[in-house]
Amino acid sequence: MAPVTVKRVLISESVDPCCKTILQENGIEDVLKFVCNYDGLVVRSATKITAEVISAGSNLKIIGRAGTGVDNVDVDAATKRGIIVMNTPSGNTISAAELTCALLMSLSRRIPQAVISMKDGKWDRKKFMGAELYGKVLGIVGLGRIGKEVATRMQSFGMKTIGYDPITPPEVSASWGVEQMSLEELWPQCDYITVHTPLMPSTTGLLNDTSFAKCKKGVKVVNCARGGIIDEAALLRALESGQCGGAGLDVFVEEPPKNRALVNHPNVISCPHLGASTKEAQARCGKEIALQIVDMATGKALVGAVNAQVLVSSFSPDSHQWILLGESMGRVLKACTASKEPFSQVHVTSLGESLKKSTGFLSSAAVVGLLTEGPQKGPNLVNALPLAAETGITVQTDHKDNECEACVLEVSVNSRSYKAVGSVQAGIPVLLELNGSVFRQPVPLTGHLLFFKAANFTELLLSVTGVLAAAGVELQSFSASTAGSGEQWYCMGISSLLGDIGALKSLVKEAAQLTV
């Protein structure tokens, strides 16, 4: 993928100083003023990047979250604007896992309550009778990076670890000592439960009145992930009834929580969202997000993108020219399509082993070309497919083994189909075929191009060049179709676009011009 121009990045929160240093060393300025002036934005968890903020950031190309969760960023709004959202998924893994373990141990031995009692001048040994973790069952909901680290640490205390995750394969979690099962099987077995999932509709209120009722009486729960995964009202009811024996909470639905009922409950240990609050995690996240932005800006790599997975493979060394090819083919078909009606279907087929993983960015690039109106700023690879879906365009992709590397783009409009075939030769995108017309010489998709469809006759070329000369336009290249009956497509490379393409009407059946 071509480098993304990122010159100014707004760091909206207290991110480790190494983040600013790395950006500045790579020529990216960081200043704290107005979001509309910036190409990039770096946040932690406190800043809410709403649709309104994104709309105000007219130059934004990247939003970097120095941490794991991106629920404080309106990812859908960013995607529609073509803005890449990236996080640092591994930066705070160890810190969050260690805090989880600390809360599990604190719950088992009631350490914070004992500390407060001691500071009050008391010596209540009997009041703070605890329980060993050894031999107890720990249920881990969410077996990603943090869930794995919690499991391996708590196994060293002799805990049995079971878990649930809809993505991590059971054989993978089994390799680090966690037996996977359904939530219905998990709830009644656990002495302790910890959650490590993102906050989304399917995980909101995962622990609620119904699930608490299925748990052992006195089960203890920990949430160092996101507020809302455990239903706070249901948790309070379970604590008051004794169904839940204690909770360790680092996160809340509202932060800081105005309703203090949970915080003030004697069996709740609470922290002010400290999961990533270690010097090591902050340095790691700050460094990682800065390096990720630099790598993206220099076209080196795209790491941590949460809304632009299609772009990951586009950072291969040769991908830039293929992206240009896909976009140029889309622009050519758009220009050479007689109907002004919107496209209904787009089908992109990649040919050749080396393009097997390229259909994603090829289809996005083609849609960019098809949806771009004139020279103004149009969609990009991030938002092309969502915008196509929004406008009712069905996009399909396919791959076929072939000795030659090529891209086939087919579009449908008003029950008519149009087709272009292109490739990259000597590092230059070229058009090989247009709507059944195969060019004798591949058409370089660069500069100003004039396409026209006409029946072959002796004076055709001379007549068209005469129109160009009269308009002060120089002919720079010419590609004719292979001999065939009927009308064929031809292409001319020209020094500038014709002011009036209608001057060709008496000579050709169809004509179109564009700059690629």
Q: What is the CATH number of the domain that holds 86?
A: 3.40.50.720
| Residues 202 and 264 grouped into a single domain | yes
Q: Is residue 1 part of a domain?
A: no
According to DSSP, the residues that pair with 193 across neighbouring strands are: 139, 221
User: What is the per-residue DSSP string for 453-491?
Assistant: EEE--TTHHHHHHHHHHHTT--EEEEEPBPS-SSEEEEE
- DSSP three-state, residue 511: strand
Alpha-carbon distance of 367 to 351, in angstroms, equals 18
Close Cβ partners of 479 (under 8 Å, ≥ 6 residues apart): 439, 440, 441, 442, 443, 490, 491, 492
Q: Determine if the peptide bond prior to 386 is cis (ω within 30°).
A: no
Q: Is residue 338 part of a domain?
A: yes
Query: Is residue 255 among the annotated active site residues?
Result: yes
Catalytic residue among 265, 273, 320, 347: 273
| Residue 322 contacts residue 362 (beta carbons within 8 Å) | yes
Catalytic residue among 254, 255, 353, 474: 255
Close Cβ partners of 466 (under 8 Å, ≥ 6 residues apart): none
Report which of 301, 304, 309 is spatially closest to residue 86, judged by C-alpha positions.
Answer: 304
Query: Is residue 403 among the annotated active site residues?
Result: no
Alpha-carbon distance of 266 to 37, in angstroms, equals 49
Q: Tokens standing for 490?
A: 């031809």
Q: Is residue 506 part of a domain?
A: yes
- DSSP three-state, residue 175: helix
| Residues 82 and 97 grouped into a single domain | no
| Residues 377 and 416 grouped into a single domain | yes
Query: From the first residue on, what is the mean pLDDT of each consecutive set of 10 residues in the chain (516 residues)?
Result: 67 74 71 66 86 87 89 90 90 95 98 96 93 98 97 98 96 97 98 95 96 98 96 98 98 95 97 93 91 88 83 73 94 84 90 89 93 75 90 93 93 90 95 94 96 85 92 94 80 95 91 93
Q: What is the DSSP letter of 49?
A: B
| Residues 118 and 266 grouped into a single domain | yes
Query: Is residue 448 among the annotated active site residues?
Result: no
Query: Which residue type is seen at 235?
Result: L
| Residues 253 and 388 grouped into a single domain | no
| Residues 200 and 173 grouped into a single domain | yes
Of the residues 437, 466, 493, which one is the last residue of a structural domain?
437
Report which of 495, 489, 459, 460 is spatially closest to residue 477, judged by C-alpha positions.
Answer: 495
| Residues 82 and 116 grouped into a single domain | no
Query: Which residue type is seen at 317?
Result: P
Phi and psi, residue 69, nearest 5°: -70, 145
- Torsion, CA 299, CA 302, CA 307, CA 313, rounded to 10: 90
| Residues 112 and 174 grouped into a single domain | yes
Q: What is the pLDDT of residue 460?
A: 86
CATH code for the domain of 514: 3.30.70.260
Query: Which residue type is seen at 409?
Result: L
| Residue 388 contacts residue 351 (beta carbons within 8 Å) | no
Catalytic residue among 44, 196, 226, 320: 226
Instruction: Give the strand pairing for 448-455 and 487-494.
Output: antiparallel
Query: Where does residue 459 rank: exposed (0-12), middle (13-18), buried (19+ CB within 10 A)?
Result: exposed
| Residues 487 and 371 grouped into a single domain | no
Q: What is the pLDDT of residue 32?
A: 46
- Domain range for residue 195? 93-270
| Residues 101 and 227 grouped into a single domain | yes
| Residues 385 and 473 grouped into a single domain | no
Query: Which residue type is seen at 100?
Result: T
Number of domains in the chain: 4
Alpha-carbon distance of 230 to 236, in angstroms, equals 10
Q: Is residue 50 part of a domain?
A: yes
Q: What is the pLDDT of residue 377?
A: 65
Q: Is residue 385 part of a domain?
A: yes
Q: Is residue 3 part of a domain?
A: no
Tokens 């993206």 belong to which residue? 296
Give the distance, in angstroms, between the CA of residue 515 and the centroid of all CA atoms in the same chain: 30
| Residues 470 and 513 grouped into a single domain | yes
Q: Is residue 275 part of a domain?
A: no
Of the residues 378, 408, 437, which one is the last residue of a structural domain?
437
Q: What is the pTM of this model?
A: 0.72
Q: What is the pLDDT of residue 227?
A: 95
CATH code for the domain of 344: 3.30.1330.90
Q: What is the pLDDT of residue 439?
A: 94
| Residue 283 contacts residue 18 (beta carbons within 8 Å) | yes
According to DSSP, the residues that pair with 418 across neighbouring strands are: 411
Query: Which residue type is seen at 272?
Result: P
- DSSP three-state, residue 328: helix
Q: Is residue 317 part of a domain?
A: yes
Of the residues 210, 245, 270, which one is the last residue of a structural domain?
270
SS (H, E, C) 204-248: CCCECHHHHHHCCCCEEEEECCCCCCECHHHHHHHHHHCCEEEEE
